[in-house]
Amino acid sequence: MKNNYILCLLAFLTALAVPAQDGNSCLNAIPVTNSIYTVGVINGAQTSTICTTSTTDTANNAEWYLYTAAANFTVQISSNLSQNAGADTRLHVYSGTCGSLSCVTGNDDVSTNNFTSTVTFAATAGESYLIAWDDRWSDAGFEFQISVTAPTPPAAFAFTINSLTTAGDNRATVDMNGDGLDDTVSVGASNISINYQTATGFNNVNIPTSNVANRPYWSLAAADYDGNGFTDLLYGGGSGVTFMKANDTGTAFTEISGSEYVFSQRSNFIDINNDGHLDAFVCHDVAPNVYYLNDGNGNLNFHQGSDANGVPTGLGLVANGGNYGTVWIDYDNDRDMDLFIAKCRGGSTNAKINELHRNNGDGTFTNVAAMPGVNLADPIQTWSTAWADYDNDGDMDLFIGASSFSNGGHKMMQNNGDGTFTDITASMGPDIGELGTDIENVPADFNNDGHIDILTDGNIMANNGDGTFTRFTANIPANGAIGDLNNDGYLDVLNANNLHLNDGGTNNYLKIRLVGTQSNKNGIGARIEVNSSILGPQIREIRSGEGFRYMGSLNAHFGMASDTIVDIVIYWPSGAVSTLNGQTVNRLMTITEPNTTASLVDSQDNELLIYPNPVGTTLHLQLPTFHENMTYSVFDINGRRVLNAPLTSKTVEVGSLNKGLYFIRILDNNRLLVKKFFKN
């Protein structure tokens, strides 16, 4: 009897807290499931891949666990338990294998006065996740709990329709006067009608213009390309391109129309050659694409196809075009902007094959869509694609919306984090099969739950946070321009003369407006990472021109659910990096770009060593760690980035550089390692 009692008691205690036989290395991680576990002491092998943004330095030791999801669950791992009062922990969660770990999420402090750790993430059925608790702050023991819940489908969306005073075709919801508030823009043959957003509503101003050569029937893009503080416009017309340049008070526009024939489709503003000045890009339906390089004085010079004085490798060289929808994105996480071209052409022609142009970091681009594993050289007829981090794993995925089913249907392509993509359309759920053909596909978090949805021609494909999507059609706006038009933190849609105001809810939000100094004024091309305790990491990019026709907000919008404190990292097009920790939510933040040269200071430790120095052609690196998520940048003495690429080996070729002094910077997650070198 006594022995049975002891056995029962031991079983009971085990159910309460599973005692550790702690995993002292990644390869010997202890399998865990939904329960409470005890960490005796942290004395195992350290983790060198850090998944937290508030603290990025490595630890001496770690303890390792392995969780395998039995179904699609929302998983929470937490040391924020009453028995751990006063404990200071740091937690990292990875996917992949021990030799190739990829961060899923991580957390140092639950809040500024609670130093325990909590993460929540969407786990995929059958996938395994490695958990590491490190001793960055303490090697003392504690307990942690793993709990799961099935993802809750989002509630139905609700919008209230308001009429607007406009004159012309409604095309944009973008800040026109630099106050951070999204305005509406409508364009007529000889006018621009702007509804300036104020604290009490809209102030409608009708600005007369010349009788413009090209109306934006096909697309409109917007940005401050001359840096005077007021937004300029790009009209993509059926026979040419017109720029409308705002004056220094925003009260008038000057028409700049070229004589070149361009059957315009999607248009964008983007700094193609990364010289700090915004250029313009326009899809050509029946010929190679065109682009306009900014000379730094506000003059935009026309280029088409491959041009030794422009982009040497060209950006869409198919003779008969087929170019419809472009999105500039950083798909390979090397902190420069690549280009995806959605193609639409029937029949047997290469004008219908989608293209992905990788930015090589040296002023050239390479179409990699057909390379092994990339899987993006599709013949799907599509007018636009929606690029976003749908699974919140730190890289950009894409939804390809078919405009005809004759060459294939809608697809969801998941970024594998190594430059390749996997078709996961089947896992989106049955609602994907209910979508018809469409031309507008735009990503946005309409319910502020921290998971990006898709607006596609009168449907919202709501992201459930577990890889599946639920289709909503009732009371959903048709395609239109997206922005926050009443400054309540929820995204609205402008369609025809109707403003569809999002009724919102109780979820928190964060909006970020960038002001470039070395980069372009709007920070177009910047990557913003926001990390919070429950939602984990989210990323956004500042883009001018998404979907097919409309122009949305240049503010980055983050749904924060119940999270209230965030850490922010911004990667500017210039190469500058901004880090802001412990920021509050439910507000619009304006963040100004720091000076790049101020951050180019030699690392004072021996974590990065380089040789030879001076160097001729090949620079060798000695690094404490080496993994696939590292990138390098080379800056000249003036702080201008001259080389940029993923770090694929421990050598960097610098033979193309002129003689002089340079800095090499290694980006290891959010850690920066810098060394100065002289090029012979």
Q: For 246-306, give the DSSP string.
A: E-TTSS-EEEEE-SS---EEEEEEE-TT-SSS-EEEEEESSSS-EEEEE-SSS-EEEEESS
pLDDT above 80: residue 16: no
| CA dihedral for 584, 51, 518, 289, sign (positive or negative) | negative
Average pLDDT over residues 474-483: 94
Q: Are 667 and 335 in contact (CB under 8 A)?
A: yes
pTM listed for this prediction: 0.80
Local structure of residue 11 (DSSP, 8 states): H
If one compares 598 and 177, the residue with the highest pLDDT of the two is: 177
Q: Are 554 and 515 in contact (CB under 8 A)?
A: no
Which pLDDT value is given to residue 152? 67
Tell me which of 138-152, 325-339, 611-625 is least confident. 138-152
How much is the mean pLDDT over the chain?
92
- Alpha carbon distance 126, 40 (integer Å): 29
Q: What are the structure tokens assigned to 303, written together?
A: 């280029």
Cis amide leading into 612 (omega within 30): yes
Q: How far apart are CA 470 and CA 623, in angstroms?
A: 45
Lowest-confidence segment of 146-160, 262-276, 480-494 by average pLDDT: 146-160
- Average pLDDT of the segment spanning 220-242: 97
Cα separation, 665 vs 652, in Å, equals 11
The predicted pLDDT at position 188 comes to 95
Determine how many CB atoms are found less than 10 A away from the CB of residue 96. Answer: 17
Q: What is the reported pLDDT for 22?
A: 59
- The whole-number pLDDT of residue 303 equals 96
Whether 330 shows a pLDDT value over 50: the answer reads yes
**Residue 5 pLDDT level (bands cut at 50, 70, 90):** very low
For residue 17, pLDDT beyond 50: no
Percent of the chain with pLDDT over 70: 96
Q: Which pLDDT tens digit goes with each residue over 125-154?
A: 788 999 999 999 999 999 999 999 877 677
**Phi and psi torsions of 351, nearest 5°:** -75, -5
**Backbone dihedral region for residue 490 (phi beyond 0: left; psi -120 to 50: alpha; all else: beta):** beta
Q: Which residue has the higher pLDDT, 57 or 456?
A: 456
**For residue 6, is pLDDT > 80?**
no
Least confident of 47-56, 312-321, 420-429: 47-56
Task: Enumerate the β-bridge partners of residue 282.
Answer: 267, 290
Average pLDDT score over residue span 448-460: 95
Q: What is the pLDDT of residue 21?
A: 45
Pick the more confident residue, 560 or 668: 560
> What are the distances in angstroms from CA 609 to CA 65, 85, 621, 622?
33, 42, 6, 5
Q: Record the tokens describing residue 147, joined without a space.
A: 């709990």
Quick one: average pLDDT of 294-316? 92
Cα–Cα distance measured from residue 143 to residue 145, given in angstroms and rounded to the nearest whole number: 7
